Amino acid sequence: MSRLSVPCHVKGAVALQVGDVRTFQGRPGVLVIDVTFPNVEPFELQEITFKNYYTAFLTIRVRQHTTAHTPAKWVTCLRDYCLMPDPHSEDGAQEYVSLFKHQMLCDMARVLELRLILRQPSPLWLSFTVEELQIYQQGPKSPSVTFPKWLSHPVPCEQPTLLLEGLPDPSRVSSEVQQMWALTEMIRASHTSTRIGRFDVDGCYDLNLLSYT
């Protein structure tokens, strides 16, 4: 599926003094980054990409356009997404991340603004943020490819001439499979049939299966 980059304005990070970490440097544990789209109509968000920089958890909120008589509302579409699995190591600390709309908790249509809430509860990392932020919307859809109906439902008039010969009758396939299954069950249930060509329990041939001329 194609995608188009959405021009946006990324505001500077604002530190919130509501983090769950308080060090002697007085560093807050939560940062907020607002993203606006000044010259873009409300759009359907397809993907968000960025490079992480020591952010442990990410929450995303979007402001969506509603009806003309209702003010736009903020909704949370991603909550505490883990970017660093282990706070004592740098695993995931500086990796590129892609988030798609199917990972979100709400519909990503009619987006007006975006808010990223970054959280780093560990005192090991003194600064954190996200870099190289890119927002994408869904591009023009590719022309749909229609497959012939005979691939799933064979109809004589819709089948190619070269494939008409040798194809099984679809109306008889299911009944023949059921007959084969029933025959298999009958063979399994037959005590005599299971001993053909084998020794019986006493180590002798079954006399009923042997015929002498």
Residue 70 CA to residue 159 CA, distance in Å, equals 55
Residue 133: closest CA among 108, 109, 115, 120 = 115
Q: Is a pLDDT exceeding 70 seen at residue 27?
A: no
pTM reported for the whole predicted model? 0.61
Q: Tell me: pLDDT of 24 over 60.
A: no
- Choose between 190 and 202: higher pLDDT: 190
Question: How far is it, in rounded angstroms, from Cα 31 to Cα 52?
Answer: 13
Q: Which two tokens stand for residue 189?
A: 């249930």
pLDDT tier for residue 8 given thresholds of 50, 70 and 90: very high
E strand or H helix that includes residue 69: none
Reported as half-sphere exposure (CB side, CA atoms, 13 A), residue 54 has a value of 14
Percent of the chain with pLDDT over 90: 37
Phi and psi at residue 121, to the nearest 5°: -80, -10
Tens of pLDDT along 65-88? 887 777 888 999 999 999 998 878
pLDDT of 205: 47
pLDDT tens, position by position, 132-170: 999 999 877 766 555 555 555 555 555 555 555 555 565
What is the phi/psi pair of residue 71, to 5°?
Answer: -65, 150
State the Cα–Cα distance between residues 206 and 194, nearest whole angstrom: 11
Burial of 111 (0-12, 13-18, 19+ CB in 10 A): buried
pLDDT of residue 155: 56
In contact, 50 and 99? CB cutoff 8 Å: no
**How high is the pLDDT of residue 34?**
96
Question: Is the pLDDT reported for residue 180 higher than 80?
Answer: no
Q: Output the pLDDT for position 57.
A: 94
How are beta strands 30-36 and 14-16 bridged, if at all? antiparallel
Is the pLDDT at 35 greater than 80? The verdict is yes
Give how far Cα 116 sits from Cα of 108, 148, 163, Å.
Answer: 15, 46, 57
